[in-house]
Structure 1
Amino acid sequence: TDPPLISELADRFGVKDMLTATKDQPFLGSLMVYLGILTITGQDDMDDLELGVPNLVIRRLYVERIRDAILPEYEDRDIVRSAAKTFYASGDVAPLCDFIESRYWKVLDNRDYRWADELAVKMAFLVVLFSDTHYIMDSETAIDKGYADLSLIIRPDKRQYKLLDHLLEFKYLSLKDLKLTSEAIRAMDREEIKALPLVRGELDTANTQLARYRTDLEAAYGGKLRLHTHAVVGVGFERLVWESETGGCPA
Structure 2
Amino acid sequence: MKRIPYGISNFEVLREKNYLYVDKTSYIDILEKYAPYQFFIRPRRFGKSLFISMLENYYDINKKDKFKKLFGDLYIGKNPTEERSDFLVWKISFAGVDAGHGEENLRKSFNFKVRSSAKEFIIRYQDLLGENKLYLEELSAEMVVDHINILCKLKNKQVFVLIDEYDNFVNELITGGKQNIYKNILRPGEGFLKAFYRALKRATTDSFQRVYITGVSPIMLDDLASDFNIIRNYTLDEKLNSMLGFSHDELSCIMDQVDLPNYELSEKICNDMNEYYGGYKFNQTCEAVCNPVMVMYFLDAFLVYSRYPQQMIDSNVKIDYGKINQLAYNFNDKEALNEIMSTGETTTILVDRFNIHTMYSEKENFKSLLFYLGMLTIKEQGPLGTVLKIPNYVIRTIYWEQYFDKISEDYNIEIQNIRIAVNEMRMHGDIQPLIEIVKGILESLSNRDLMQMDEKNIKMMFLTLLAVDNTYFIRSEDENNKGYVDLMLRRKIQLKDITKFEWIIELKYIKESDRNTLEKVKEQGLKQLQMYGESKMVQEELEKEGLKKVLIIVVGKKDIYTVNKND
TM category (shorter chain) comes to: 0.7 to 0.9
What secondary structure sits across from 1:240 in the alignment?
strand
**Displacement after TM superposition at 1:223 (Å):** 5.3
1:67 aligned partner, one-letter code:
F
Tell me how far 1:2 sits from its aligned partner. 7.8
Matched, 1:151 2:492: no
Cα separation, partners in 2 of 1:86 and 1:51, compared to 1, 3 Å: same
Kindly provide the amino acid, as one letter, of the partner of residue 531 in structure 2. Answer: R
Distance 2:542 2:558 in 1: 39
Inter-partner Cα distance in structure 2 for 1:219 and 1:79: 32
Counterpart in the other structure of 2:353: 12
Q: What runs of 5+ residues in structure 2 fail to find an aligned partner?
A: 1-342
Aligned to 1:243: 563
Which digits, 9 at most, give the CA deviation of each residue in 1:73-99, with x for residues without a partner?
886222111111112222212111111
Deviations 1:12-61 (A, max 9, x none): 12xxx1332463432211111111111111233x1521111122222111
Instruction: Give, as a single letter, the amino acid of the residue that structure 1 aligns with 2:346.
Output: P
Give distance in 2, aligned partners of 1:35 and 1:18: 17
Aligned residue for 2:554, secondary structure, equals strand
Judge conservation of contact 1:167–1:229 (CA < 8 Å) in 2: yes
2:345 counterpart of 1:3:
yes
Q: Gaps (5+ residues) in structure 1?
A: 179-196
Indicate if the aligned counterparts of 2:466 and 2:472 stay in contact, CA closer than 8 A.
Answer: no
TM-score of the superposed pair, with normalisation by structure 1 = 0.79
Larger displacement relative to structure 2 (154-163 or 133-142): 154-163
Identity %: 28
2:507 matches 1:170? yes
Structure 2 contact 439–557 (Cα < 8 Å) conserved: yes
**Corresponding letter in the other structure for 1:18:** I
CA apart distance, 1:111: 3.0
Deviation (angstroms), 1:157: 4.1
Q: 1:5, 1:50 within 8 Å by CA — same for their partners in 2?
A: yes
8 Å contact from structure 2 (residues 400, 467) kept in 1: yes
Aligned partner of 2:462 in structure 1 is: 125
* Paired letter, 2:369: L
* Residue pair 1:70, 1:107 contacting (<8 A) in 2 also: no
**Deviation digits for residues 144-180 of structure 1 (CA, Å, limit 9, x no counterpart):** 14010011111244333343110011111111223xx
Are 2:529 and 1:210 equivalent residues in the alignment?
yes
Aligned amino acid, residue 203 of structure 1: K
Contact 2:510 2:555 survives alignment (8 Å): yes
Q: Write the letter of the residue equivalent to 1:79.
A: N
Question: CA distance change for structure 1 residues 19 and 131 in 2, over 3 Å: closer, same or farther?
Answer: same
Partner of 1:142: 479
Report the CA distance between 1:240 and its aligned residue: 1.3
Change (3 A) 1:80 1:158: closer
Report the structure number with the largest CA radius of gyration.
Answer: 2
* Contact 1:131-1:137 within 8 A present in 2 as well: no
Residue aligning to 2:299: none
Q: TM-score, normalised by structure 2?
A: 0.37
Q: Is the aligned partner of 1:91 residue 2:429?
A: yes
- Quick one: structure 1 residues 33 and 165, their matched pair in 2 at CA, closer, same or farther if it must change by over 3 Å? same
Evaluate the alpha carbon distance shift between residue 24 and residue 242 of structure 1 in structure 2; reply closer, same or farther with a 3 A threshold. Answer: farther
Higher strand share: 1
For 2:557, give the aligned amino acid: F
Residue 366 of structure 2 is aligned to residue 28 of structure 1: yes
SS of 1:220's equivalent?
helix
What SS does the aligned partner of 2:526 have?
Answer: helix
Q: Aligned in 2, Cα 1:125/1:218: closer, same or farther, shift over 3 Å?
A: closer
Matched residues in 2 for 1:223 and 1:79: separation? Answer: 27
Question: Are the counterparts in 2 of residues 37 and 53 from structure 1 also a CA contact under 8 Å?
Answer: yes
- Deviation of 1:125 after TM superposition, in Å, equals 0.7
1:182-203 CA deviation, whole Å, 9 max, x = no partner? xxxxxxxxxxxxxxx5212212
SS of the equivalent of 1:130 reads helix
CA-atom RMSD in angstroms = 2.4
- CA-to-partner distance for each residue in 1:89-119, whole Å, 9 max, x for gaps? 22212111111112x2345443323431111
Q: Distance in 2 between matches of 1:222 and 1:35?
A: 33
- Tell me if 1:64 matches 2:401: yes
